[in-house]
Amino acid sequence: MTQSTATQTKWIRKSFIGETKLPLVYEPSEEKELVDLTKWIQKNQKEWREDLETHGAILFRGFPVHEATDFQSILFATEEKKLGEFYLGTSPRDQVVKHVFTASELPPHYPIMQHAEMSFLDNPPKLLFFYAEKASETGGETPLTDLRDIYKDINPKIKEKIENHGIRYRRRYDGPSQKARFSLWKTKRWDEMFGTTNLEEVKKISKQNRFQLDWFGKDSLTITNEQSGFRVHPEAKTIAWHNHSQTFHYQAAVSEVWKIFKKQKTIRSLGVALLLTLLTTIKRIAGSESHDVHVTYGNGEEISANEMKSISDVFWKHLVAIPWQTGDVLIIDNLSVSHGRLPFTGPRRILVGWSD
């Protein structure tokens, strides 16, 4: 590690990994108990929050964090007023303790593209918390990208379209009657996402989030909503690229897996890239109406494959992938920095929490 920075606490050392400025790493300079860390977080709110606002992500490494309840005690120490208990996203997750969930349960060979958590909502999470309960043998990094840099570097023509029209999302879900539905990406059913089968409650939650609901079939549901595509940070007043285009676009995964193949150069990554290229071709032929998730500009204009590749290229230009170490805790400013997941082998368990 290099480039140490000053800190008010002698036993916490701050540095960066290699040449990157993302994330800022906090490490103990001497052996400490978990309670020492939680007390420090409570008492030094101004210091670590200023670091988080500047750098976008802080990695706590080398502290005695051994299980989900340890991780949750760090969440409590931040004194965030509203820790997450309800997940309106698309990926399958399991609740471990009250404010701690598993990260996406998508298959290990499938990449998760860069995204700001729940950017398709009016009020996405403010902070994200990740904990490496078990780091994988190979791969499995949670890469980060500074969305403020993406906003500055994105193709001006794409930026202009989003400024003028925003982004429109469409998500399609099966209902509770489809207990054994096969899905390559394990898309949740709508009752799993909303946490209820009560239609009045579903309508209430949807109204709060400006979701348009369209029912079809026996009990299947399509959700449509729009967002600006960019967000201004409430404290720093910086502007960031903040949308799910690079996650929901049918072409995004193909761009991702070929870049991963170039990075990993493994037979498995080549096989995944070839398979997804084939599946994407089938998707393109079938048309956008067949896609479980879809994204366009706010006026309905399709985001072209070339535009999507351009967006993906900018993300990979700025992407930082730091391998996890078991016990790591990562705090991300969700309005400034995106995250994803690279494919992995071996057992891996990453837990997540957030504050609204």
In this prediction, residues 61-75 reach a mean pLDDT of 97
Least reliable range by pLDDT among 5-14, 44-53, 125-134, 179-188: 179-188
Q: How confident is the model at residue 92 (pLDDT cuts 50, 70, 90)?
A: low
Q: What is the pLDDT of residue 185?
A: 47
Q: Is-contact 85 99, C-beta < 8 A?
A: yes
Where b means 16+ CB within 10 Å and e means fewer, 141-160 reads bbbbbbbbbbbeebeeebbe
Q: What is the pLDDT of residue 151?
A: 98
In this prediction, residues 15-38 reach a mean pLDDT of 94
**Residue 71, SS3?**
helix
Q: What is the pLDDT of residue 7?
A: 45
Residue 260, pLDDT > 60, answer yes
**Residue 331, SS3?**
strand
Q: What is the pLDDT of residue 91?
A: 63
185 vs 35, which has greater pLDDT?
Answer: 35
In this prediction, residues 143-172 reach a mean pLDDT of 97
Record the pTM.
0.88
> What HEC string does 94-113 produce?
CEEECCEEECCCCCCCCCEE
Residue 186, pLDDT > 50, answer no
Residue 4, pLDDT > 90, answer no
- pLDDT 10s digits, 280-334: 777 776 666 667 889 999 999 999 989 999 999 999 999 999 999 999 999 999 9
DSSP string, 111-140: -EEEE-TTTTSSS--SEEEEEEEE--SEE-
Residue 5, pLDDT > 90, answer no
Q: State the DSSP H helix or E strand holding residue 80, giving kind and residue range, or none if neither.
A: none
